[in-house]
Amino acid sequence: MKAFISCKVLDFPGGKVVFSPEMRFLSESPSVYSQCYRVLDDNGQLISHSNFVPVSEEVAVKMYSNMVTLQTLDTIFYEAQRQGRISFYVTSIGEEAINIASAAALTSDDIVFPQYREPGVLLWRGFTLQEFANQCFGNKADYGKGRQMPIHYGSNKLNYFTVASTIATQIPHAVGAAYSLKMDKKDACAVTYFGDGGTSEGDFHAAMNFAAVTESPVIFICRNNGWAISTPTSDQFRSDGIAVRGQAYGVRSIRVDGNDALAMYSAVHSARHMAVNEHRPILIEAVTYRVGHHSTSDDSTKYRPANEIEWWRMARDPVTRFRKWIEINGWWGSEAESQLRSSIRSQIAERAEKPPVNDLFTDVYDNIPSNLREQEKLLKETINRHPKDYPADVPI
């Protein structure tokens, strides 16, 4: 009898194995779905017995102002693309709370590895509206010198890695950076953002396992907005969302209402504390909805009903919900709202000098090789022969 009892639990590399004479398969789906943490109801009222991190009036007002600014920024650049003044754009409509609230809960030393729907994080850190315009319009002041597609922002000064369109490649990079921060004993973490579609990539799974094994201080923030371009989550996976995947890899996880700015702030604030002080990865699944099209190259009404989009826009708007809460607290009013919205557009000046043609050939080699010199010469000769076929505002 003693021998049987001693063999019920086996010490095994990586954990204990509990033996049982009963043959039982793990269910393919849970009987009870994962709860979704929220603090504010749809009318901006605090839910009874809510557990959340307090936010000061100053921080709350800045959060709301940044959310409105992000909305306005999206409107300006979306219209500019439709008018043919820029080639491409991606909006964050419906996901403003994820952007701004998460950024507010981090510190400037935390390193951000974005996807392409997180300009609000840069906005919070001090990236100006003109800097956004410089990148989208490819102006001379653009830090990428006009070489990148619009919305591929980046800032060394603000610890925000440059956006890459390739899905999920930033996730393993974030883990590597987090491990480096841990080795250097820095009081900081790495944060990476991605959509539900990104979790269908191998990079996500490799990064989760890597982070768990190395105990790296990294926060994974998944924007589960229901759609990977035109592919719904029902066609991507059968698991109970994203958060449950963390447990499989040994990563502490939480599902949050991504349209509740107060819940997002609280979750990220707590996640950062655990990541930095306990040296552990944290996975946050932010449940939201992509109200806008995937990009200006997409028409989402071709694969989802317009009334569904409109319901999320009106009934579940994160900006309106947060405004109601700060109004209830007496921190905001209609006069402040009017002043804010009228001041934003004046901060952007579209027309600016373009980068010179020779910038196409610099910043790769220390000494430019002869083949690139030849290409530069041929390009300039071609522009001079056919000036009407090239933009007149690009210096040769």
> For residue 250, is it left (φ>0), alpha (ψ between -120 and 50) or beta?
left
What CA–CA distances, in Å, run from 79 to 82, 106, 296?
5, 31, 10
3-state DSSP helix/strand/coil % of the chain, to nearest 5: 45, 10, 45
Alpha-helix residue ranges (DSSP H) falling in 108-188: 119-125, 129-137, 170-183
> Are 89 and 76 in contact, with CB atoms under 8 Å apart?
no
Q: Which residue has the tokens 């759609």?
A: 227
Q: Which residues of 34-52 are buried (b: 16+ CB within 10 A; e: fewer)?
A: bebbbbbbeebeeeeeeeb
- Among residues 102, 216, 253, 295, which one is catalytic? 295
Q: Could you tell me which residues come within 8 angstroms of residue 354 by beta carbon, excluding any fewer than 6 positions away?
A: 138, 139, 140, 146, 391, 393, 394, 395
| In contact, 290 and 94? CB cutoff 8 Å | yes
Catalytic status, residue 165: yes
Contacts of 81 (CB under 8 A, 6+ apart): 87, 88, 89, 150, 296
Considering the candidates 34, 50, 165, 200, report the single residue annotated as catalytic. 165
The secondary structure of residue 354, as a DSSP letter, is P
- The pair of structure tokens assigned to 334 is 């209609």
Diameter of the chain by CA atoms?
95
79 is catalytic: yes
350 labelled catalytic: no
- Contact residues for 71 (Cβ-Cβ < 8 A; gap 6+): 93, 96, 319
Catalytic residue among 79, 278, 353, 374: 79
Q: What's the distance, CA 384 to chain centroid? A: 43
Which of the following is catalytic: 96, 269, 294, 300? 294
What gap in Å lies between CA 289 and CA 315, rounded to an integer?
A: 12
> Per DSSP, what are the bridge partners of residue 155?
160
Phi-psi region of 88 (alpha: psi -120 to 50; beta: other; left: phi over 0): beta
Positions annotated as catalytic residues are 79, 165, 294-295
